[in-house]
Structure formats: structure tokens, C-alpha cells
Amino acid sequence: MESLHDCEGRLACKGNPKTGYVESLYKGSKTSTTLAVGEVFTIECQGVVTNIIRTCTEYFTVESHKMVA
């Protein structure tokens, strides 16, 4: 599992690009899913939106930005 960070440098989630498994843990609540190639997992946390994209079976692409008020 590799660590994936948001635009603030905080750990957003962990994932395995070979299997597509992604796991997010926040305040004791765990959310997990398995992504097919091309699918997106979106995390909104502490004013930041982070999109985890399974680009291929070798790596994830992370897009992250602050929410606009």
C-alpha cells in the first residue's frame, strides 16, 4: 500500500494500484473501495477536496485543491 497525500501534505488515504484497493481513515471511521482503471475516489476533508484516480495498474494520480467558500 502506498500513501497518498492531499495538497496540504496530509495523508488522504492509502492504496494499492495493482489491485485498485483504496482505504481512507478519518477520526476512527474507515472507508474502503476497489477502483477499476479510470475510476475516481473523492475525499472531502478539512476544507480540501482530493480525487484519487486509478490511472493504470502501476500508479494512482492525485488531484487535490482547497474548497472555495
pLDDT per residue as tens digits for the range 14-61: 999 999 999 999 888 999 999 999 999 999 999 999 999 999 999 999
What is residue 22's predicted lDDT score, i.e. its pLDDT?
A: 97
State the Cα–Cα distance between residues 35 and 66, nearest whole angstrom: 24
Strand partners, 14: 3, 23
Q: Can you give the residue ranges of every domain in the chain?
A: 2-66
- Whole-angstrom distance, CA of residue 37 vs CA of residue 55: 6
Q: What is the pLDDT of residue 33?
A: 96
pTM of the model: 0.89
Asked whether 51 and 62 are in contact (CB, 8 A), the reply is yes
Instruction: Give 68's DSSP letter.
Output: P
Statement: residue 13 has pLDDT above 90: yes
Q: Quick one: pLDDT at residue 68?
A: 82
**Longest pairwise C-alpha distance within the chain:** 36
* pLDDT score at 26: 87
* Residue corresponding to grid cell 472555495: 68
